[in-house]
Amino acid sequence: MTERQTAEQICPEIHYKKDRDRVTITGCYGIDGNLYIPDEIEGHAVYGIGPYAFSDGGEETDCVYLSPDAAYVGERHRICTDEVEEIRLPGRVGEIGRYAFYRCRNLRKLTLTDSLLDIGGGAFTGCRLKEAEIHFYRGEKSALKSIVDEIRFAIRAILYYHGAHGGVQTARILFPEHYEEAVENTPARLLVTEHHGSGGYYRQCFFNHELDYKKYDELLPFAVTEEKEETVIELVLGRLMYPFRLSEKSGSAYKEYLHGHMEAVGRYVAEREAFDEIRFLSRTGCFGARAVDEAVRRASELGHTELVGVLMNERQKLPAGKKKTFEL
């Protein structure tokens, strides 16, 4: 058991099947939907998540593991479907079975590594996963495309690229929502499929299990045309604050977008109390007077007093005589 694992709450009761030295999880039992699965169970590596493991399908199991704290946990029950909220998968998991998370409608966050490349059919059907955190140790291949292909709603990916000597580079990527709609063309007696949202384009930015950052960044015009301002601002700030594989040309395009939407940027940081984003915008000279003034106005309306104080301090930093301009 690693130091990291002992510091977190391990799922108190885990059902699994064992094949030689590999363990496949078939079900988790506990009292809440935040599930932390250890890397090893009784000396055997956790390699897979079985079919229907967190859905309401039938469970096939051979063994039961009880964590050291299981005796102190109240009456346990199977955690599945609507109860599942957050899952940390073991670092060596290389397979997720079909319909493993079927109808886990409240699953917010999934943490995994680049050991996982293949996901069974329908694994995330009926899910509204909001965030996928992936740790890379072997390169840039992962199961991210398989995940976002099954989630039509907006999903955020936090990607950590671990270097050989302990350094970590981070990317924060937004895949906007998208959906298809069948519209009847009555005169022609045809059904025409219409696509909504730019998320469909962004979900095509992969090659051989790797995210193509250049292609992703080139899609900004589609997001601007089809998404709300706050969605584009989130996407743009994610790329600028965590510029993994970001070219100078694309970085300039993102900054130009912020320049043209200062009031919207101000509302965005105020409504989300986005202190990190404010610090970034200030540090890089991208927080113009129009953005600050709008942020102060909106934060005051919402009663975010601490944020108003921070913003007033930012306003004082603006050079005299230039408080109505913005410079990249």
Judge whether 246 lies within some domain: no
What count of other Cβ atoms lies within 10 Å of the Cβ of residue 58?
A: 8
Whole-angstrom Cα distance, residue 324 to residue 195? 40
Position 20 pLDDT exceeds 90: no
Which pLDDT value is given to residue 185?
59
- What percent of the chain lies above the pLDDT cut of 90? 77
Which amino acid, residue 5? Q
The two structure tokens encoding residue 20: 């030689």
Please say whether the beta carbons of 123 and 97 come within 8 A. yes
| pLDDT (average), residues 85-98 | 95
Q: Phi and psi dihedrals of 210, rounded to 5?
A: -115, 140
The three-class DSSP label of residue 277 is helix
Whole-angstrom Cα distance, residue 135 to residue 152? 23
Which pLDDT value is given to residue 215?
98
HSE toward the beta carbon, residue 101, CA cutoff 13 A: 30
pLDDT band at 183 (very low <50, low <70, confident <90, very high): low
Which pLDDT value is given to residue 323?
45
Choosing from 112, 129, 146, the residue where a domain stops is 129
Task: Give the CATH number of the domain where residue 19 resides.
Answer: 3.80.10
The residue assigned the tokens 């072997």 is: 138
Predicted TM-score (pTM) of the model is: 0.89
Choosing from 78, 109, 129, the residue where a domain stops is 129
Structural domain including 37 reads 1-129
pLDDT band at 184 (very low <50, low <70, confident <90, very high): low
Choosing from 93, 111, 129, the residue where a domain stops is 129
Number of domains in the chain: 2
Tell me the pLDDT tens digit for each residue of 108-128: 999 999 999 989 999 999 999
Picking from 288, 190, 284, the residue whose alpha carbon sits closest to that of residue 239 is: 284
Q: Phi and psi dihedrals of 173, rounded to 5?
A: -120, 135
Which pLDDT value is given to residue 327?
40
Residues 6+ positions from 122 with CB-CB distance below 8 Å: 98, 99, 102, 150
Position 23 pLDDT exceeds 60: yes
